[in-house]
């Protein structure tokens, strides 16, 4: 057996020459990603679902679920999305999967880092580390859980901690803003490159300075060379000039722009030239136009806190919804889709005929949301027709009437691109009235998605969904799903699954009682009631024996619905698809080691196209539709 990792006195006191030592502030300059040293493209990742959470590795994606603080004074690793949550090792048994829990200063939450051995270990064993952060089974694949294990010095216990954040084009977050060759010489031009986890793709971008600085040399700043549009961006000695002061419109357009280019609205934005997403593509500034190639993912340390990095002279274009006669009817869009570069992605492939779908409008009060009775009616509304084009690949010609109140899920960047941003502001709290837009639903990122509250969860069908229909859904890869996949019913996603022969229950214990003749056994450290997670695999097997294709749960209440607290409610119908494992975004493992391929799902308006899905994404996706290029 390999010997234990001997801890240097330097690392045991956490004095790591700035690698861990911070000033205690919550900034992009003090936040970390934690990656296996031999897998720089993988990041420590927080996953949550079924009333539990755990830590795993997942392809680095820049989201806040992969951002952490490693505090040298308290010896705790806190989550960037909520610094009241700490990495916890439970009862300190070997093999325990690590998870997040309320910070409490207990031994299972006190960690240290040995910079020579590259081990993250429990700080209670400073002279000779006993327990280390370890990749379960020495596996390298996405979704591998991170566990507590005896320190042994092997590769699966070696971790690299790197400060800063990545800046990525929102349409394809596999690319990062990059310094070619890692050069920090002044005048070095900034380009796009496939994200690789290296320091030349890490940046600081904090309020106060409003400068974008390479982590490898924070004396340099991103520079436009002037206050008008420029054919390229470069780094230069930081000098507080206006051409180095940037702002980020997190609330609406997701644009990075020169702060001094605005009096009432931004005029010079960072732009992917010609929409060409390719290695080595130089970045330019161009007239702000709300096109997709000017939308960026800039997240950290907390996506909500990025509103503070909005520059000293920001006045965002907004309109009070109550001042608009039909509060959600668009007027002139802020972007003309025909004037934007074509979004990358494969040509859509028609699905086989036969698409049983639900109507798109329910009878009664639409709570101020717009109703379209014909294609001509929709085309008259430039903003909404643009939004449907972006999500579904077309302005619908079938299925009228269409009620926008029926769109449970809205993609925030596409809302902005279509010209609908500013007509409503999602509530940060759990919604209490029908038709209220709200910011947070379950574990989905509030940075990219928002929601419309409809208390009739099976709308327009009622309180449950009739079988043998294609329904719009959403799902994020979660290993604890097991051999089936848990979806939410989310009209507006543009991604469809087949319900088949479905069985409806109120909550998980009802299915356990009916299918297993047992009582629900909640797992330890459950975050929500009535999960019955220990019995999932038995449920799946029993359901298949009864020839069910899917299960529905209409009253389960473990869905977070506020960005301000951990309150949970019954916000959506859960659908369990028994056809494939939930540990994959696409609910299946593609043959021959492929990470993407044609799936059993459908995409586009009323599911008229096949779905080409990528397992490297965190959520189910269909290329060319919704948020996926």
Q: Give pLDDT tens digits for 399-432.
A: 999 999 999 999 988 998 888 866 678 888 999 9
What length is written for the chain? Answer: 629
From 134, 163, 192, the end of a domain falls on 163
| Residues 176, 217 within the same domain | yes
DSSP symbol at 513: I
Q: What are phi and psi of 4, to 5 degrees?
A: -65, 155
Q: List residues bridging with 518 in a β-sheet.
A: none
Please indicate, yes or no, if residue 620 is contained in any of the structural domains: no
The rounded distance, in Å, linking the Cα atoms of 52 and 101 is: 10
pLDDT of residue 570: 94
Start-to-end C-alpha separation, the chain: 48
pLDDT of residue 320: 29
Instruction: Give the model's confidence band at 522: pLDDT under 50 very low, under 70 low, under 90 confident, else very high.
Output: confident
The two tokens of residue 463 are 């309180």
| Residues 354, 406 within the same domain | yes
| Residues 295, 434 within the same domain | no
Query: Does residue 584 surpass a pLDDT of 90?
Result: yes
| Residues 155, 186 within the same domain | no
Query: Does residue 542 surpass a pLDDT of 90?
Result: yes
Per-residue burial over 168-188, b if 16 or more Cβ lie within 10 Å, else e, is bbbbbbbbbbbbeeeebeeeb
| Residues 68, 150 within the same domain | yes
Instruction: Give the model's confidence band at 209: pLDDT under 50 very low, under 70 low, under 90 confident, else very high.
Output: confident
**Long-range residue pairs from 581-584, CB within 8 A, at least 24 positions apart, any chain:** 581/481, 581/482, 581/483, 581/484, 581/485, 582/475, 582/477, 582/478, 582/479, 582/480, 582/481, 582/482, 582/484, 582/485, 582/486, 583/143, 583/477, 583/478, 583/479, 583/481, 583/482, 584/143, 584/477, 584/615
| Residue 322: other Cβ atoms inside 10 A | 8
Distances (CA, A) of 259 to 54, 329, 598: 40, 30, 43
Phi/psi region, residue 123 (left: phi>0; alpha: psi -120 to 50; beta: rest), is alpha
| Residues 486, 608 within the same domain | yes
Helix (H, G, I), strand (E, B) or coil at 379: helix
SS3 content of the chain, % helix, strand, coil (to 5): 15, 30, 55
Please name the residues in contact with 338: beta carbons below 8 A apart, sequence gap of 6 or more. none
DSSP symbol at 350: B
Instruction: Give the model's confidence band at 627: pLDDT under 50 very low, under 70 low, under 90 confident, else very high.
Output: confident
Please indicate, yes or no, if residue 529 is contained in any of the structural domains: yes
Query: Does residue 375 surpass a pLDDT of 80?
Result: yes
| Residues 450, 593 within the same domain | yes
Longest dimension (CA), the chain: 74
User: How many domains is the chain partitioned into structurally?
Assistant: 3
Query: Picking from 88-97, 170-179, 202-211, 595-604, which range would have the lowest pLDDT averaged per residue?
Result: 202-211
Reference 270, options 211, 229, 321; nearest CA is 229
CA 281 to chain centre: 25
| Residues 143, 180 within the same domain | no
| Residues 349, 372 within the same domain | yes
Please indicate, yes or no, if residue 318 is contained in any of the structural domains: no
pLDDT of residue 71: 76
The continuous run of DSSP H or E covering 55 comes out as strand 52-59
Instruction: Give the model's confidence band at 504: pLDDT under 50 very low, under 70 low, under 90 confident, else very high.
Output: very high
Cβ atoms of residues 26 and 10 within 8 Å: no
From 163, 190, 215, the end of a domain falls on 163
Of the two residues 470 and 302, the one the predictor is more confident about is 470
Please indicate, yes or no, if residue 1 is contained in any of the structural domains: no
| Residues 153, 172 within the same domain | no
CA 67, 73, 76: angle at the middle one, nearest 5?
45
Query: Does residue 42 surpass a pLDDT of 50?
Result: yes
pLDDT of residue 523: 65
Query: Picking from 203-207, 430-434, 490-494, which range would have the lowest pLDDT averaged per residue?
Result: 203-207
Please indicate, yes or no, if residue 625 is contained in any of the structural domains: no
pLDDT of residue 252: 74
The two tokens of residue 168 are 């990525």
| Residues 132, 185 within the same domain | no
Reference 321, options 202, 437, 222, 223; nearest CA is 437
Query: Does residue 116 surpass a pLDDT of 70?
Result: yes
Query: Picking from 2-6, 343-347, 600-604, which range would have the lowest pLDDT averaged per residue?
Result: 2-6
pLDDT of residue 22: 37
Distances (CA, A) of 576 to 85, 485, 489, 492, 586: 29, 6, 10, 19, 14
pLDDT of residue 331: 34
Domain range spanning residue 206? 168-308
Q: Give pTM, 2 decimals.
A: 0.84
Please indicate, yes or no, if residue 322 is contained in any of the structural domains: no
From 101, 135, 163, the end of a domain falls on 163
The rounded distance, in Å, linking the Cα atoms of 466 and 297 is: 38
Please indicate, yes or no, if residue 623 is contained in any of the structural domains: no
Query: Does residue 73 surpass a pLDDT of 80?
Result: no
Reference 578, options 491, 469, 498; nearest CA is 498
Helix (H, G, I), strand (E, B) or coil at 57: strand
Cβ atoms of residues 627 and 345 within 8 Å: no
Cβ atoms of residues 125 and 118 within 8 Å: no
| Residues 172, 219 within the same domain | yes
Q: What are phi and psi of 591, to 5 degrees?
A: -70, 160
CATH of the domain at 212: 2.80.10.50
Please name the residues in contact with 613: beta carbons below 8 A apart, sequence gap of 6 or more. 585, 586, 596, 597, 598, 599, 601, 620, 621, 622, 623
Please indicate, yes or no, if residue 90 is contained in any of the structural domains: yes
Instruction: Give the model's confidence band at 524: pLDDT under 50 very low, under 70 low, under 90 confident, else very high.
Output: low
């Amino acid at each position: 057996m390999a010997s234990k990792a001997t801890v240097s006195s330097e690392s045991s006191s956490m004095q790591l020459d700035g690698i861990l030592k911070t000033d205690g502030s919550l900034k992009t300059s003090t936040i970390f990603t934690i990656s296996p040293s031999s897998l720089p493209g993988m990041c420590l990742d927080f996953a949550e679902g079924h009333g539990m959470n755990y830590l795993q590795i997942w392809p680095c994606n820049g989201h806040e679920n992969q951002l952490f603080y490693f505090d040298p004074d308290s010896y705790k690793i806190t989550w960037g999305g909520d610094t009241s949550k700490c990495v916890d090792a439970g009862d300190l048994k070997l093999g325990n999967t690590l998870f997040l829990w309320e910070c409490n200063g207990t031994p299972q939450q006190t960690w240290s880092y040995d910079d020579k051995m590259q081990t993250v270990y429990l700080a209670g064993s400073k002279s000779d580390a006993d327990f280390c952060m370890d990749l379960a089974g020495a596996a390298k694949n996405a979704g591998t859980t991170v566990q507590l294990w005896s320190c042994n010095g092997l590769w699966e216990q070696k971790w690299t901690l790197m400060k800063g954040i990545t800046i990525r084009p929102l349409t394809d977050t596999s690319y990062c803003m990059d310094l070619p060759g890692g050069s920090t010489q002044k005048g070095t031009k900034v380009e796009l490159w496939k994200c690789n986890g290296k320091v030349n793709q890490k940046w600081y971008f904090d309020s106060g300075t409003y400068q974008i600085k390479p982590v490898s040399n924070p004396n340099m700043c991103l520079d436009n060379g002037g206050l008008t549009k420029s054919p390229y961006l470069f780094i230069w000695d930081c000098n507080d000039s206006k051409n180095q002061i940037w702002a980020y419109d997190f609330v609406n357009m997701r644009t990075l722009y020169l702060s001094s280019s605005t009096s009432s609205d931004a005029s010079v934005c960072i732009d992917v030239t010609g929409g060409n997403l390719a290695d080595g593509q130089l970045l330019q500034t161009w007239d702000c136009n709300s096109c997709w190639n000017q939308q960026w993912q800039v997240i950290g340390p907390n996506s909500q806190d990025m509103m503070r990095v909005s520059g000293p002279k920001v006045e965002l274009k907004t309109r009070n919804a109550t001042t608009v006669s039909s509060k959600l009817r668009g007027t002139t869009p802020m972007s003309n889709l025909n004037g934007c570069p074509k979004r990358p992605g494969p040509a859509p492939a028609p699905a086989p005929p036969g698409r049983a779908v639900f109507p798109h409008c329910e009878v009664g009060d639409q709570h101020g949301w717009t109703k379209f009775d014909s294609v001509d009616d929709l085309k008259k509304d430039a903003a909404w027709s643009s939004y449907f084009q972006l999500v579904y690949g077309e302005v619908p010609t079938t299925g009228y009437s269409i009620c926008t109140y029926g769109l449970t899920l809205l993609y925030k960047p596409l809302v902005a691109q279509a010209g609908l941003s500013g007509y409503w502001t999602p509530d940060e709290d759990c919604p209490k009235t029908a038709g209220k837009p709200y910011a947070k639903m379950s574990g989905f990122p509030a940075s990219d998605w928002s929601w419309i509250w409809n208390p009739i969860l099976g709308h327009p069908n009622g309180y449950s969904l009739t079988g043998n229909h294609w329904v719009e859904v959403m799902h994020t890869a979660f290993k604890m799903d097991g051999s089936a996949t848990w979806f939410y019913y989310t009209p507006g996603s543009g991604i469809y699954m087949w319900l088949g022969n479905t069985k409806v229950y109120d909550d998980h214990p009802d299915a356990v009682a009916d299918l297993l003749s047992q009582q629900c056994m909640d797992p330890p450290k459950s975050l929500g009631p009535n999960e019955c997670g220990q019995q999932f695999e038995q449920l799946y097997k029993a359901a298949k024996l009864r020839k069910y294709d899917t299960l529905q749960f209409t009253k389960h209440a473990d869905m977070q619905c506020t960005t301000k607290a951990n309150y949970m409610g019954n916000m959506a119908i859960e659908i369990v698809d028994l056809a494939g494992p939930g540990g994959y975004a696409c609910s299946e493992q593609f043959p021959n080691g492929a990470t993407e391929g044609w799936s059993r799902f459908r995409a586009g308006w009323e599911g008229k196209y096949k779905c080409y899905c990528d397992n490297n994404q965190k959520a189910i996706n269909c290329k060319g539709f919704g948020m996926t290029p």
